[in-house]
Chain A
């Protein structure tokens, strides 16, 4: 369970998160939509402790992420995150990219790590790209590789930050299919996305962010069908 309690965060004088409250239960898929600069990405990076917060608490499975003495490296190995920009390690092949963290963080043997990497690369349709370096992969392939890399740590939570928005329209589908597959397997996920159709289809709840505030959160039918807040209505009208 991820519990976000009254989280505030500023960059200099700019308050980016203005008291966010959100609880995500095991097996739940929550998508976050909202305008550019509303704080969606910032929230995700706070959840796995890549960014500090000013006040409030984020608790993952009972562990205070920003608490003193929290072992962030251990915590991060169970929260996978995939960013908008595919971040393949250019000096490793597809297989090596996925094997690195299982070997070094989980301490698996080369053979065990390879087995896991192979399994996840196959699941995202990259079984034929094992020995290929990332520069030879398309954007969609690199993004799927990044997803496999995160999944190879057997995370209990996955955070996705607009994983399709840097992709060609042609390649969006293949990556969304991967996310759908994960959702159907019961993975707990928080997805920031601009793909409204996707959000509607996979989410248990959809959250709308507006200027650092979570203006509305509801099941997809309610949020898309009958938005309560005027900002939500304006945003949905603009994106359709």
Chain B
């Protein structure tokens, strides 16, 4: 006979799910951000014409629902016999998803750095790389930060969709417990609370940095 009380083991089960959510989010945001910065710089540097194929690809990644892409990617990798597990597949799909949005954020932030400032830095003899490092990067980061935090939090919630590949992340773990314990309200509240605990530090970090960087 199934027990209806929430045990410590159940909480550990939820925590394990949360760990998976956090891991997938961390990998996707890290890889997606690096890729997004690269693509964003490429887009600014080479202009819309030469980067049209890249833009098209990113548009596809932004417009096709994540769930469909996850399932398609999983099917594709198994047809191609790549032997990726669901975790790898999820990370790759979510990384590309993050990269697609991040590219736009980065592009917008670089373009927001006033052209005259860049001329001034180049006229002092700074190379393109130095200009990017010491003038563009700090200023663009300030512009990009709020959208990037939003993206990160979004990816964390959207990562729940990987349960369709059979991964037991936070949401799936809660579902399993709900089915067994028949206590949907309590468990979903706990689950929501955990999502909040995961998101809160990131949102706070964003707020702190913004405050620190605001014009003095």
Contact = CB atoms under 8 A, between A and B. Distances in A.
B7 interface: no
7 contacts: A73-B125, A80-B124, A87-B117, A87-B120, A89-B121, A100-B126, A101-B126
A135 interface: yes
Interface of B: 114, 116-117, 119-127, 130, 134-135, 138-139, 142, 213, 215-216
B135 A153 contact: no
Contacts of A136: 216
Contact of A90 (B119, B123, B127, B215): B215
A50 B125 contact: no
A87 B124 contact: no
Residue of B125, B126, B139 most packed against chain A (CB within 10 A): B125
A74 B127 CA distance: 9
Interface in A25-81: 45, 48, 50, 73-74, 76-77, 79-81
B216 A50 contact: no
A91 B116 contact: no
Interface string A163-176: 00000000000000
Interface of A: 45, 48, 50, 73-74, 76-77, 79-81, 83, 85, 87, 89-91, 100-101, 104-105, 133, 135-136, 146, 149-150, 153
B216 A104 contact: no
A139 to B, nearest CB: 14
Contacts of A73: 125-127
Contacts of A149: 124
Contacts of B123: 48, 50, 76, 79-81, 150
B124 A150 contact: yes
Given A73-B127, A105-B130, A90 B122 contact: no
Nearest to A131: B216
Given A73-B125, A105-B125, A135-B216, A83 B119 contact: yes
A48 B125 CA distance: 10
A149 B135 CA distance: 15
B211 to A, nearest CB: 15
A104 B130 contact: yes
A208 B200 CA distance: 63
Given A101-B121, A153-B124, 14 more contacts: A45-B119, A73-B127, A76-B125, A81-B123, A87-B114, A87-B119, A91-B213, A100-B126, A100-B134, A101-B126, A105-B126, A105-B130, A135-B216, A150-B124
Contacts of B127: 73
Contacts of B216: 133, 135-136
A133 B215 contact: yes
A100 B138 CA distance: 14
A77 B215 contact: no
Residue of A77, A79, A83, A90 most packed against chain B (CB within 10 A): A90
Given A87-B119, A133-B216, A135-B215, A105 B135 contact: no
Contacts of B139: 90-91
Contacts of B124: 76-77, 80, 100-101, 105, 149-150, 153
B119 A50 contact: yes
